[in-house]
Each structure stands twice: as C-alpha cells, then as structure tokens.
Amino acid sequence: MNNSELGTLLLFLIVLVLVLSIFGFVIRKFLGAKRKKWFSYNHINERHKKLDWSVRIFFTILLLISTYYSINNNEILSYWYFETWFILIVFVLTSELLRAFMEWKYAENKKDFVATITEILFMTSIVFLTIITDFFGLFNI
C-alpha cells in the first residue's frame, strides 16, 4: 500500500467514523435518548457489566486462537470465520446487541434501546456496503 492509498484509507476511516457519530447524535436527539460517551464503559447495571466482560474475554480468546491458527496453518486457504475482521464485526454486534437488550430490560428511558438498535442497523449496513463495494472502489484490492 503506497502513501496515496494510505492517505485515502485514513481519510475514508475518518469520514466513516464521522458519519456514524453524526447519525448516532441525530437519532438520539430525535428519540430523546441519553447520549453515550465515547470510549467509556456505560453499563446499565452490574449484570450488564459482568456479561459485557464475559463477551470481551470470550472474543479476546477467540482472536488469540484465530491468530494462532493463522500463523501455524500452512494451507493457502483460510476459513472466513477465523479472519480478524469477521471476529471483530461479530464482537461489536454482540456487544451492542447485549447493550440494547439490557437497555430494553433495565433502562429508565425505554427509547435508549431503540436508538441503540437503530445505530446497530445503520452501522451494519455501512460496514457491509463498504465490504461489498470494495471500499466504494477507492482501492485496487
């Protein structure tokens, strides 16, 4: 990857994060849901905290296993479900779906889970659209 493609990738990722953030802000404002802080552990209760850490530990172990498999696998073909990108997508989806369930079950404002589900659907759509279109044709992959 040359410097031009690296710059394009960085710009693309910045725009992607910006679009997702603006969408999250607008949807939460529209629904009157509580705003989530960036890069923080916003657990609904202790049960959510324990379940969230269980999910994180499980996916960390899964990433370690897939890395070990990838390094020690002499075959050219690798399984798609052992790819790092796939494991990370499933981790984010699982973590956010857990958050949505806990918001639905325990949060005071029931609109929080609707905003979270909407954000999950939008984020998933954008990620899969990006993958299917080969990053919207920005790179020669």
DSSP codes, 25-67? HHHHHHHTPPPPPTTS---SSHHHHHHHHHHHHHHHHHHHHHH
Contact predicate 33/109, CB 8 Å: yes
Contact predicate 96/121, CB 8 Å: no
Q: What is the pLDDT of residue 131?
A: 84
Residue with the larger pLDDT of the pair 106 and 141: 106
Condensed to tens digits (0 to 9), the pLDDT of residues 87-139 reads: 999 999 999 999 999 999 998 888 999 999 999 999 999 988 988 888 888 77
116, with CB counted inside 10 A (0-12, 13-18, 19+), is buried
In this structure, the chain runs to a length of 141
Question: How is the chain split into domains, by residue range?
Answer: 3-137
Residue with the larger pLDDT of the pair 37 and 130: 130
Amino acid letter, residue 52: D
Condensed to tens digits (0 to 9), the pLDDT of residues 43-88 reads: 889 999 999 999 999 999 999 998 888 888 766 667 777 888 899 9
Would you call 138 helix, strand, or coil by DSSP? Answer: coil
Residue with the larger pLDDT of the pair 121 and 141: 121
**Position 141 pLDDT exceeds 90:** no
